[in-house]
Amino acid sequence: MMNRIWFTLLLLSAFGFMQPGQAQNPIIQTKYTADPAPMVYKDTVFLYTSHDEDDAFGFKMRNWLLYTSTDMVNWRDRGIIASLKDFKWVTTDNGAWAPQIIARNNKFYMYCPMPGFGIGVLVADNPYGPFKDPIGKPLIKNSSDDIDPTVFIDDDGQAYLYWGNPNLYYVRLNGDMISYSGSIIKDPTIAKVKGMPDPYHYQEGPWVWKRNGRYYLAYASTCCPEGIGYATSKTPAGPWEYKGMIMDGDKRSSGNHPGIIDFKNESYLFGFDYAILKQNMSKHYERRSVCLEKITYNPDGTIQKLPFWSKNVAQVGTLDPFNRVEAETMAYSEGLKTDLQTEWERNVSWDKGKKIADRIILTNINNGDFTKVQGVDFYRQATSVEVSVASMDGGRIEFHADKIDGPLIANVEVTGKGEGDVWKTLTAPVKKISGVHDLYIVFKGQKELFYFDWWKLNSK
């Protein structure tokens, strides 16, 4: 056991995970994620992603996921929010590529590319879904370039849909956001011209935003590996002027896909690499992991070049442990997976009855696995901790401060065998602690231990 702890400490240090108050990359470890599409809504960042299956060798992508954060460091898994099955006109179970979601008219519009079928649109009444297909057909079916949609709404209310690989296209969306007027335009400044120099090196994955009256276009640049380049314009329709690279390509990631937001007075760039895959195997498969960096603008509006996914994103705020914290909320984890479990009301014969709840839970919990919750504020004295678990083989949940082998502040014994669908709330005392600390939740025992739903501190 000690060998595993020391190996984990070395791994965390090597990847920069021990830096206090800083985000680590990749930011999601329980699933393979790619093609980040961040959206700020109220006080929360909604991070929509595509999803590489665990056994993907090429692109094996069936659904889209959602993660949320209020501090840019701790991310909560919200599960699958849409899938290829939501488009009745799509006849494949593989091809849920890079989406984008945008809010308008008190609704949320999700633009989804499915190679060979075009770009569809889904609509929901809230950012968590459920999302439904309002038109029952592709919104865009123009060419084999129909991938990687992105939407931008200008100050005058006009919305634009951009997409394309290896060329850039756009249309003007109507106010309903599910139709467009005018013709599809192939952008002439980004267009590939045979035999001509290509200063833009546009590849795919466009992302458009506006800052201080200037329009920005970021995109996956060059191939392969793909970096992230950008251009600017005086109008949302171009012409675009190439400005350089936000991030150079790197052999550690053959692809990339930018997503850019402003949140709490800072600017952020999302993309992806293959770091989690390459911790486990040397061969290249399409199993990607979303990453995060902070953007810095120069006084003239140009963007300072970033290193390849470092760890310079500071936590914004703290986490309140006296409110219920879902177990799938974390800054980092090792060895764990998340899954959706439906809880049913049981009758005497143990047949399924009425559905009680759907839970996103931590699974695949084995001896030595852990989660790290960053910046936990012990602003009052905790007396006990509650955890919600369903025991498989039983075991122990240890709460350590600041390090995986740091001071033990709580120890919860989990008993019971084969109770994977029986949820219990267990309580244990908490040692005195105050201030802001990183919290390592470490799991001990034999075999597969239990499922874990949530935890919460109590005080007098």
Higher pLDDT, 110 or 7: 110
Quote the mean pLDDT of the chain: 90
DSSP strands (E only) in 53-187: 63-69, 75-83, 100-104, 107-114, 118-124, 150-153, 159-163, 169-173, 180-186
Residue 450: pLDDT over 70: yes
Strand partners, 48: 37, 66
Name all contacts of 10-17 with Cβ < 8 Å and 24+ positions apart.
Answer: 11/279, 12/332, 12/404, 15/275, 16/310, 16/311, 17/311, 17/332, 17/372
Distance, CA of 116 to CA of 125 (rounded, Å): 28
Measure Cα distances from 328 to 250, 325, 336, 403 in Å: 30, 8, 10, 19
Q: Which of 44-58, 113-127, 373-387 is least confident?
A: 44-58
Alpha-carbon gap, residue 281 to 433, rounded angstroms:
40
Spacing of C-alpha 31 from chain mean position:
9
Q: Domain segments of the chain: what residues? A: 17-295, 325-459
φ/ψ of residue 83, rounded to 5? -150, 175
Please tell me the distance from the alpha carbon of residue 3 to that of residue 5, in angstroms, as a whole number.
5
Q: What average pLDDT does range 428-457 have in this prediction?
A: 97
Q: What is the CATH number of domain 325-459?
A: 2.60.120.260
pLDDT score for 414: 97
Higher pLDDT, 5 or 44: 44
pLDDT at 11: 41
Yes or no: say if 397 and 391 are a contact pair by the CB < 8 Å rule. no
First to last CA, the chain: 36
Instruction: Of 117, 118, 126, give the one whose Cα is nearest residue 81.
Output: 126
Q: What is the pLDDT of residues 158-169, one digit of tens each?
A: 999 999 999 999
Residue 19 pLDDT: 46
Type of residue numbered 51: H
In terms of CATH, what superfamily is 17-295? Glycosyl hydrolase domain; family 43 (2.115.10.20)
Distance CA 120, CA 198 (A): 30
Question: Are domains 17-295 and 325-459 of this chain identical in fold?
Answer: no
Structure tokens at 401: 């401060």
458-to-114, 381, 406, 441 alpha-carbon distances in Å: 47, 8, 21, 17
For the segment 212-224, the average pLDDT, to the nearest whole number, is 93
Q: CB 291: neighbour CB atoms within 10 A? A: 27
- Among 16-30, 139-153, 188-202, 419-433, the minimum mean pLDDT is found in 16-30
Question: Which value, to the nearest 10 degrees, does the dihedral of the CA atoms of residues 442, 444, 447, 448 take?
Answer: -40
Tokens read off for 230: 């950008």
